[in-house]
Amino acid sequence: MTGGGQTCWKWMSAKPRDGSVVVIHDATVDRTTNGIGSVEELTLDEISRLDAGYHFKDLTGEHSFRGEG
């Protein structure tokens, strides 16, 4: 978000099931990764194996980051 010459980022911290701490945009991994479920229901190991570039499309419409982790 931008406004008044300032940039604002929206992030939240969450505690996965194993007690680790992660910083992520949403309470679930559904929209931003190839996984599904609440961050709090997953372990850090499970989260780290998700593909965070899975849904991203570049300007040509290609999934250029899919498979990159």
Q: Give residue 15's pLDDT.
A: 81
DSSP state of 26: S
pLDDT digits over 17-69, tens only?
898 888 888 899 999 999 999 999 999 999 999 999 999 999 999 999 999 87
Q: Give residue 58's pLDDT.
A: 93
Q: Which has more pLDDT, 5 or 51?
A: 51
Which secondary structure element, helix H or strand E, spans residue 48, and what is its range? Answer: helix 44-48
pLDDT at residue 2 greater than cutoff 60: no
pLDDT at residue 3 greater than cutoff 70: no
The vertex-29 CA angle with 28 and 31, nearest 5°, equals: 100
